[in-house]
C-alpha cells in the first residue's frame, strides 16, 4: 500500500512539473528596428533616431517584436535609382520577400545574390542593374539591423 502511494505522488509531481514547464515557458521573439523612409538623409539613416527610441523618448514603433511569419530575420534594405536614395527600410522579414521582390526580381536576375545572403553572418550586399541599386543586409539577433546600443540589452 505504501509503494502505490509513493508511485501516485511521483506521477503527480512529474505531471505537475511538466505542466509548469510547458505553461510557464516564456516565448521570446526576435526584435528588430522598424523604420520606413523615403529620400536621402532620412530619419532611418540617422543614428540619433535609434538612440532616442532606445531611451524610450522616441517613436515606440521603432522597436518591433517580430511576429510569424515575419520573424525569421532582421533586414536593412536600401533602394536607389540613378544614385538617389528612394527608400530605406529596417524591419522584420520572413527571409523570402523584400520590397524589391515584386517589381524587379521578376524582370531581372541581378538580385539573385541578395536572396542568398546568410543572415547568421550579418551579411550585406548591393546589386546594380544599370539603373537601380539595391542593398540588403540580413541578420539574426535582437536589433541587429541598426546601431548596437547599451540600451538594446535593456529593451
With a CB cutoff of 8 Å and minimum separation 6, the contacts of 70 are 91, 92, 93, 94
Interval 36-65 mean pLDDT: 88
Residues contacting 19, CB < 8 A, separation 6+: none
What pLDDT is recorded for position 104?
53
CB 92 within 8 A of CB 85: no
Q: What tens digit of pLDDT does each residue of 130-143 get?
A: 788 999 999 999 99
Tell me how many degrees the CA angle 52-58-62 measures, rounded to the nearest 5: 95
pLDDT of residue 19: 40
Residue 106 has pLDDT above 70, yes or no: no
Residue % of the chain over a pLDDT of 70: 74
Considering the entire predicted model, what is its pTM? 0.75
pLDDT of residue 56: 81
* 88 vs 151, more confident: 88
Q: Residue 67's closest CA among 36, 27, 30, 23?
A: 30
The CATH fold assigned to 31-153 is CD59 (2.10.60)
Average of per-residue pLDDT across 33-58? 89
Query: Which pLDDT score, from 0 to 100, does residue 150 have?
Result: 72
The angle formed by the CA atoms of residues 141, 44 and 60, to the nearest 5 degrees, is: 70
Q: Which of the pair, 7 or 153, is modelled with greater confidence?
A: 153
CA distance 155 to 137: 22
Q: Are 83 and 35 in contact (CB under 8 A)?
A: no
61: pLDDT strictly greater than 50: yes
Average pLDDT, the chain: 80
Amino acid at each position: 500500500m505504501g509503494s502505490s502511494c509513493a508511485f501516485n505522488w511521483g506521477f503527480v509531481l512529474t505531471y505537475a512539473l511538466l505542466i509548469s514547464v510547458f505553461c510557464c515557458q516564456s516565448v521570446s521573439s526576435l526584435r528588430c528596428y522598424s523604420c520606413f523612409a523615403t529620400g536621402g538623409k532620412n530619419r532611418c539613416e540617422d543614428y540619433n533616431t535609434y538612440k532616442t527610441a532606445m531611451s524610450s523618448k522616441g517613436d515606440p514603433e521603432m522597436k518591433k517584436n517580430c511576429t510569424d511569419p515575419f520573424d525569421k530575420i532582421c533586414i536593412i534594405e536600401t533602394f536607389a535609382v540613378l544614385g538617389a536614395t528612394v527608400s530605406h527600410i529596417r524591419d522584420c522579414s520572413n527571409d523570402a520577400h523584400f520590397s524589391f521582390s515584386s517589381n524587379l526580381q521578376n524582370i531581372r536576375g541581378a538580385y539573385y545574390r541578395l536572396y542568398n545572403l546568410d543572415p547568421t553572418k550579418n551579411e550585406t550586399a548591393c546589386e546594380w542593374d544599370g539603373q537601380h541599386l539595391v542593398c540588403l543586409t540580413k541578420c539574426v539577433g535582437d536589433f541587429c539591423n541598426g546601431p548596437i546600443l547599451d540600451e538594446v540589452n535593456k529593451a
